[in-house]
Amino acid sequence: MIGVIFGSAILCLFLWTMVLRMRIKALNKVAGYWFGLVTACCMLGAFLVVKTSAALLPRGITEVVSCRTAKIAFATTLFLNPQINLRQELDWSKLPDKCMLLLNHTSWFDSVVFTAVVPLSFISHFRTLLKASLMNLPLGGAIFKNAGHYPVYFIKDWGVDKEKQAPVTKRMNQFIKESDRAVISFYPEGVVNKEPATLQTFRRGSFATPIEHDLPIYAFLAVGNDVTWPAGGFPGQPADIDLKLFEVTPAMSKLSEDLRTPQALSEHCRDVMQKELDSMLAARSGNKKTI
C-alpha cells in the first residue's frame, strides 16, 4: 500500500513538472505558488540539517555541511521548477584556487541560482560578503551564519561601521591566507539593480581585498533572474536565464600600477563586466554584436 502511494506521488510530481515545462501562461500564478512551496520546504530541510550539524559537529565541518546543504536545497528547488531554464556558460575548472568573484544583482533569485550551479565539491570554498541584516532572516539567516559567510555592517549613506567590520575583515583575511582554496564572492553594486541592463556604480571598499592578497578577479553574470523573480512581483515565473563565468582581471601584480587602487579597480571591473553584459543581452535579443 505504501509503495503504491509513493509511486503515485512520484508519478503525479513527474506529470506536474512536465506541465510546468510547457510554460502555460494561464498557470503562471500557480507556478509561482508551487515555486514558493518548494523553496520553503527545501529551506526548512536545509535549516534543520544545518542546526543539527551546528549542535553536534565542530565549526569547520559545520561550515562544509552548511554550504553543501544550501547548494543541494537550491539545486532541488530549480530541478522541481523546470519552467526556469538555465543556459550555462560556466567552466568552473578555470576558476583559480583563490580569487574574488563579482556578481551582478538584479533579483532575490540571484543567490539561489548562484548557489545551485556551483559544483558541490567546490561550494564549501566559497564565502560571501552580505548585508549583516540578512543574517537574521528566518531559516536563511542560520544557514548564512553557519556557512561562514561574512556580514557587512552598513550604516547611513552606505558607509560601514568600521569597529564592527574590523573583526570580520580579520577573519576573512585569515581564511584567504590559510586556505588552500578561497573564493570571496560579493555583489559590488550593493543593492538590487532596478535597471538590470546597466550595472550600477560599484562600491569600492571590498576591492582593497584583492589588492592586499594579490588575487585575480572573476565575474559571474546572470541575465533573466529578474524575470523569474521580479522586484515586488510574483516569484517562480517562467524564464530563460543566461549564466556566464569569466576572468575580469589577472592577479593584481600583473596589472598596471594605476589600476591598483580600490576606486580605479572597481571602475575597471565595472567597465569589463558591462561590456560582457551588453554582449549577453544582445545575444538574447538575437542581435549578437561584437565588442
Check residue 156 and give its pLDDT: 76
At 287 the pLDDT is 47
pLDDT exceeds 90 at position 127? yes
Phi and psi at residue 9, to the nearest 5°? -65, -45
Average pLDDT of the residues of the chain: 93
| pLDDT tens per residue across span 223-254 | 999 999 998 788 999 999 999 999 999 999 99
Q: Average pLDDT for residues 203-210, to the nearest whole number?
A: 92
pLDDT tops 90 at residue 2: no
Question: pLDDT at residue 67 above 70?
Answer: yes
| Interatomic CA distance for residues 204 and 211, integer angstroms | 12
Percent of the chain residues past pLDDT 70, beyond the cut: 98
290, pLDDT greater than 80 = no
Q: How many residues does the chain have?
A: 291
Indicate whether 291 pLDDT > 60: no
Average pLDDT of the residues in 209-223: 97
The answer for 148, left when phi > 0, alpha when psi is -120 to 50, beta otherwise, is left
pLDDT of residue 36: 95
Q: Is the pLDDT of residue 288 over 70?
A: no
Q: What is the dihedral of CA 232, 189, 115, 56, to 10 degrees?
A: -100
Helix axes 28-56, 140-147, angle to 10 degrees: 50
pLDDT, average across residues 107-121 = 96
Q: Which residue has the higher pLDDT, 163 or 4?
A: 163
φ/ψ of 183, rounded to 5, equals -120, 120
Dihedral, CA of residue 39, residue 7, residue 117 and residue 51, to nearest 10:
50
Distinct helix (H) and strand (E) counts, the chain: 9, 9
pTM of this structure: 0.93
Please list, in sequence order, all residues whose beta carbon lies within 8 angstroms of the beta carbon of residue 175, skipping any fewer than 6 positions away.
127, 148, 182
What pLDDT is attached to residue 128? Answer: 96
Identify the pLDDT of residue 258: 93
